[in-house]
Amino acid sequence: MTRSLVACFVGLGLAVGQASALEFKNIRPCYGSLGATRTDVKCLPGDVLYMTYDIEGLALDPKTGRANYITTLELLDKAKTSTNKWDTPNNAAPHLGGTRMPGDLHLILPRNQAPGKYFIKLTVQDRLAKESKSFLYEFEVVASTFGFIGISAQAVGFPGQPYSAQFAIVDMSLDAKKVPNVDIMMRVLDSKQKPVAPPIFSNLPKDLPEEIDLTKGNFVPMQFPIYLNRTGSFFIEIMARDKIANKTIELRYPLTVLDLAGIGK
């Protein structure tokens, strides 16, 4: 798998580039590696976004059966002027056949990133076929506010597998004693979005780790372990309410639990 790491955020955009055998397919923002699809791609400063995509039509070396290509990421400002550039060489064999190669982008936005409009350009250069293909992504960084960032949530699981929904809460209001008052609730819903088990609750500052000083960094990493005891289609819902600011935020994503015994039959 080709991987590229950049310190910025990418939103959904339009593919562009010269005509060639190369093609990008299945471009998908998601919550971490193998994560559920992310439907809202606006991000807060400090957020993290994973994106997956497929490169189709790569040439293969007839002697080795391997593809040889370079992926290049460029960060563009609102005038579409390139400000940063990252190259990643790739040399891999498609052991399952075909000419498709999966790729992913691990995108990190600094906590001090200024709000505004940005672009990312991703180019793949097929070194064997001497062809290239690009797509351009537009994204917006929104002003800092109470919210979730850095969400990691796999889309698929198996019964008995260790699983957890992971995220961070940022920019909570603090009282006169410099402590927050935030209630967090996680619950699992069935395919009709009806609860299947009692919700799990957490509270800040009650569950705030002692080493975290919110006056130095208003950022609290959290996770909710979920025991996958049966197969089915579910939704994970996480809500947080800042009682001081009277603000509520919500995250909901699908989770499919598969039966390993039925795979391959």
- 17 and 136 in a single domain? The answer is yes
CA distances from 79 to 85, 107, 116 (A): 16, 21, 12
* Domain boundary residue, one of 88, 106, 141: 141
**pLDDT tens string 155-186:** 999 999 999 999 999 999 999 999 999 999 99
Residue 151 binned pLDDT confidence (cut-offs 50, 70, 90): very high
- 20 and 133 in a single domain? The answer is yes
What CA dihedral angle connects 54, 89, 12 and 130, to 10 degrees? -70
What CA dihedral angle connects 179, 226, 238 and 30, to 10 degrees? 110
DSSP 8-state assignment for residue 262: G
Residue-level pLDDT at 262: 77
Residue-level pLDDT at 5: 44
- 166 and 90 in a single domain? The answer is no
Residue-level pLDDT at 131: 95
* Domain boundary residue, one of 89, 116, 141: 141
pLDDT at 8 over 60: no
pTM: 0.86
pLDDT at 138 over 60: yes
- 92 and 179 in a single domain? The answer is no
Residue-level pLDDT at 4: 46
Number of domains the chain is built from:
2
- 65 and 134 in a single domain? The answer is yes
Domain housing 120: 2-141
Residue 103: is it exposed, middle or buried by C-beta count within 10 angstroms (0-12/13-18/19+)? buried
> Which CATH number fits the domain that encloses residue 51?
2.60.40.3880
**pLDDT tens string 9-67:** 333 333 333 345 899 999 899 999 899 999 888 989 999 878 888 999 999 999 999 99
pLDDT at 120 over 70: yes
Residue 82 binned pLDDT confidence (cut-offs 50, 70, 90): confident
Residue-level pLDDT at 11: 37
- 118 and 7 in a single domain? The answer is yes
